[in-house]
Structures are given as structure tokens and as C-alpha cells.
Amino acid sequence: SAVISQKPSRDICQRGTSLTIQCQVDSQVTMMFWYRQQPGQSLTLIATANQGSEATYESGFVIDKFPISRPNLTFSTLTVSNMSPEDSSIYLCSARVGTEKSNYGYTFGSGTRLTVV
């Protein structure tokens, strides 16, 4: 199955700054996703990022705060903009791999633990 390399694995940032998280997949994938996970909580979907189209955001998440790039079929970035302590969380990327015939699977990066001070 596909492997996702996500970086940075963790960072401590000053409020008001921005952080860009990168995810590299070792195979070409059409669909990628970005999640946020608060400590001890479940994953919340931020947006879907398909190559060649604008990212689709879930309710409560906006492009100005979480701009996403998807320049090709193996790479995506999520930027957390103008950070505040409330943005402290784990951010994960995911990719859908496989085909409908072989059954789709989903693989996840190991996450970025962000602390905003």
C-alpha cells in the first residue's frame, strides 16, 4: 500500500504566524484529505484536496485560514494561517489509494503535532 511522508512531525509556533505542512505520497493518488485531531479526540475532516481542482472545505473550515495546495498527484500542503493557541492540534493528511475494482484503501500520514504559544 502507499506510504505518506508528512512533515514536520511537530512544531512550536508563535501566535500570528503561519505553518505549512507537507505530505508526499509514494504513488499517484487522485484524492487527498486533511484532518485535525485534538488531543484525546477523534479526527475531524478539514478539506478534500483533488489535483486539478479547488479544495473542498467542510463546515467550520475556510480557505483563508487553511489554504491547501495540490500541485500534482503525489503532493499536497496545508497551511495553518494566522495561528492562535486554539489551533494547537495534530494535523494529518490522508490519501485514497487503489481502484474501485481492487477496492479503495486509505492511508494516513503520521501527523504534525502543532503547538501555538
Residues lying near other proteins in the complex (CB under 8 A) are found at 4, 31, 33, 35, 42-45, 48, 56, 92, 94, 96, 100, 103-111, 113
Minimum distance from residue 45 beta carbon to other proteins (Å): 6
**Residue closer to other proteins, measured from CB, 14 or 42:** 42
Instruction: Identify which of residues 65 and 96 has a Cβ nearer to other proteins in the complex.
Output: 96
User: Min. distance of Cβ 39 from other proteins in angstroms?
Assistant: 10
Sign of CA pseudo-dihedral 112, 80, 39, 10: positive
Is 114:87 a contact under the CB 8 Å cutoff?
yes
Q: Which of 57, 49, 56, 40 is nearest to 109 (CA)?
A: 49
Alpha-carbon gap, residue 70 to 78, rounded angstroms: 9
**What's the closest the beta carbon of residue 116 comes to other proteins, in angstroms?**
19
